[in-house]
Amino acid sequence: MTDKKEIVAGFIDWLSVGKRHFLVTLGLDSQGILHVLHLSEGPFNDFKTAHAHFEVLVQKGYEIHKPTLFVINGSTCLKYVVPGVLGTQVVLQRCQLRCVDQLSSSLPDDSAAEIEGKMLDYFELTYDTSMNKIQSASNKMLQHYPAVAANIIESSEETMTTCRLAVPMPLRLSLATTSMIWQQSESVLEEYKKVLDEASEEDLIDKMLQAVQKRTDSYSPLLGYEDLWLLETALNDELAVHSPDTKELDYRQILNASEPEENGSDPKKRRRHKRWKVSKVNGFIQHTIEAEILDIGMTGLAAQTNNPLGVGAVHSVRLQHSDGVIKLRGRVAWCRLVGSRKNEKNESQLIYHTGIEFEDTLTDSCKNIQFFFNKLVQINLDRRVFGRLHYQSDDMSGDSDDRIKQTPFKVIKVSLSGMLIETDFKPEKESLLQIEVRLGNQPFFSTGRVAYSETLKTGQFASRIGLEFVKIDDENQVILENFVKKQIRK
């Protein structure tokens, strides 16, 4: 086994021999020679096996203290455990062949052959060109194969690491696969099976390690190893610009970062209490993950984040709005991947929707939630509510009273801050309108500012208008608050 200081890159994957699985870590030295650093047996893509495996590597002195590339099979398990145990200086490259195989297995034969050929071609292009083509390919697949499209986007950055680092050919191809571990001929697998049959349980791991090392020797020196110094330079430059996230990777929670199947696929159907849409509300989960609040109820909320959250995990939730901050504790009920989008740096980001159940609704926090509802909730009315807008006509003939016109409108949503209505009138943005509407059994009057207006192509009315209340006297404020409270209690 080589000295740890000579390791410039690593390869990690599972080797399957019959029904037995072995996690293998290879180290690459500066001369292009591959060394089996550690081998352990355990279930395929198993977190506990992986954690124990890399803990042993650390004990052997292989904790990473400089930027080092590790090529992995692309599983969620290794994605989180490798940097979580070996350190934040780890840079990951997903095995491109594994990636293509996984995508192909999820598609019909004709589509699989097409995407396989395209992806293999993209891997040899420049980074920007390949990422644009991958994005385009995933967009085309989104309608018919959304899960495959999401998988392409999720894996694209780490699948193209050596391309992003501008590693020259042929070293780039050598560092883009773990096939020397998992892709074995029948004759090699027979040799491994023979070792398993003949070795005792006490020395099985040592015998398998020797057999894998013998097979690995045939790949040494690695093609293109003369350019490994360029890889080291590129890694140092990248981590100098993009410093690694130093927070602890709690990969154990990722085990459950999916919605339980036994509860059904639609979280809305499993709710015991009604939820309401809210606007301009942001949240922070454990003060580290920013989230957009999608809807909220007395017992929980739904949020959108760029990070998966482990089901069952308890988090501190801080709801932030212009009117104040509310702090709660909640348990993750479900988490699902719903798509992707580009961020400010034109990088692909995954989008997760997460359901969180509040844990302290029987305490004083319940009062805070009620206040939050009263201030921010937008009520979708379940019955028809109509009103009238009063505005001044542009027709300058006649006196000022004659220029005051009226037009009917239908209320779509209402909150303490404003209304969403539909009408045939098309006002200018920022203009002020007089509002008259009956809320429950009480007439309500207010002045509203046109926050936005859009033209409707179908339906009863020509326009949809968002009105922000700007002038409400005390009497009408009480009428509005009582109406909103009554709707919430329904």
Q: Residue ranges of the domains in the chain?
A: 4-251, 258-375, 381-489
Average pLDDT over residues 264-272: 46
Per-residue pLDDT for 396 more than 60? no
pTM over 0.85: no
Tokens encoding 351: 């989008």
Q: How confident is the model at residue 118 (pLDDT cuts 50, 70, 90)?
A: confident
Q: How far is CA 268 from CA 199, 368, 377, in A?
A: 55, 24, 18
What amino acid occupies position 446? S
Distance CA 381, CA 86 (A): 55
Tokens encoding 218: 């045939």
Highest mean pLDDT among 86-90, 255-259, 274-278, 464-468: 464-468
Average pLDDT over residues 46-67: 87
Per-residue pLDDT for 435 more than 80? yes
CB atoms within 10 A of CB 328: 23
Q: How confident is the model at residue 13 (pLDDT cuts 50, 70, 90)?
A: very high
Distance CA 138, CA 152 (A): 6
Q: What is the per-residue pLDDT for 146?
A: 76
Q: Which of 72-86, 168-182, 360-374 has the lowest mean pLDDT?
A: 360-374
Q: How confident is the model at residue 260 (pLDDT cuts 50, 70, 90)?
A: very low
Distance CA 77, CA 86 (A): 14
DSSP sequence for 362-417: TSTHHHHHHHHHHHHEEEE-SS--EEEEEEE-S--SS-TGGGEEEEEEEEEEE-SS
DSSP sequence for 17-45: ETTEEEEEEEEEETTS-EEEEEEEE-STT
Q: What is the per-residue pLDDT for 37?
A: 94
Average pLDDT over residues 191-200: 90
Q: Which residue would you say has higher pLDDT here, 313 or 14?
A: 14
Average pLDDT over residues 229-252: 61
Say which DSSP state 263 is in. Answer: G
On whether the CB atoms of residues 435 and 467 are closer than 8 A, the answer is yes
Are both 258-375 and 381-489 of the same fold?
Answer: yes
DSSP collapsed to 3 states, 412-454: EEECCCEEEEEECCCCCCCCEEEEEEEECCEEEEEEEEEEEEE
Average pLDDT over residues 2-23: 83
Domain 258-375 in this protein, CATH class: mainly beta
Per-residue pLDDT for 289 more than 60? yes
User: For 242-250, which contacts have Cβ atoms below 8 Å and span 24 or more sequence positions?
Assistant: 244/83, 244/88, 244/89, 245/88, 246/88, 247/288, 248/84, 249/80, 249/83, 249/84, 250/84, 250/310
Per-residue pLDDT for 301 more than 90? no
Q: In the CATH hierarchy, which fold is given to the domain comprising 381-489?
A: Thrombin, subunit H (2.40.10)
Average pLDDT over residues 174-196: 89
Mapping DSSP to helix (H, G, I), strand (E, B) and coil, where does residue 488 land? helix
Distance CA 98, CA 89 (A): 24
**% of the chain at pLDDT higher than 90:** 16
Per-residue pLDDT for 35 more than 60? yes
